[in-house]
Amino acid sequence: MKKFIFVINAIELLKQLLAGKRVEGVLYFDKNAGRLTFKAYNRTCPKHRVLPEVLIRKTPYGRVTKTLMRFKRYTSIPIDMPFAKKLDTLDEENKLAREALVDYEILERV
């Protein structure tokens, strides 16, 4: 008795088999189609390109950077600092980040 197996992405699967690679996947009975189906796992990871961050300004407790799509502000405040000082530090960091963005925009337009 012969069984036919429906292969999803058959051309890519055959290329891998002809290259001598092992193909892992799942073999299941497709109730909608009424046949056995083999679906290979996609083991190729996409090439993620990490975009570099350009430092705009270093602040006392963090930094302001620019990527292709966004401006980012990082702040790291010590735990042992008193609460009132933490709030003042956050306000000061926000002020410095605003100034950094204004300076950056002025330099970009000149």
Q: Is residue 45 part of a domain?
A: no
Q: Is residue 48 part of a domain?
A: no
Q: Is residue 10 part of a domain?
A: yes
Domain that holds residue 102: 54-109
**In terms of domains, do 61 and 94 share one?**
yes
Question: Degrees (nearest 5) of the Cα angle 90, 62, 76?
Answer: 65
**In terms of domains, do 95 and 64 share one?**
yes
> Can you give the pLDDT at residue 60?
94
Torsion, Cα 61 66 72 76, to 10 degrees, reads -20
Is pTM, for the whole model, over 0.85?
no
- Our count of domains for the chain comes to 2
**In terms of domains, do 66 and 100 share one?**
yes
What are the CA-CA distances from residue 110 to residues 64, 82, 92 (Å)? 21, 42, 27
**In terms of domains, do 35 and 10 share one?**
yes
**In terms of domains, do 36 and 69 share one?**
no
> Can you give the pLDDT at residue 86?
95
> Can you give the pLDDT at residue 1?
64
Q: Is residue 46 part of a domain?
A: no
> Can you give the pLDDT at residue 83?
95
How many CB atoms sit inside 10 A of residue 63's CB? 18
**In terms of domains, do 101 and 66 share one?**
yes
From first to last of its 110 residues, the chain has per-residue pLDDT tens of 666 777 777 888 788 888 888 888 888 888 887 788 888 887 666 667 777 899 999 999 999 999 988 999 999 999 999 999 999 999 999 999 999 999 999 999 88
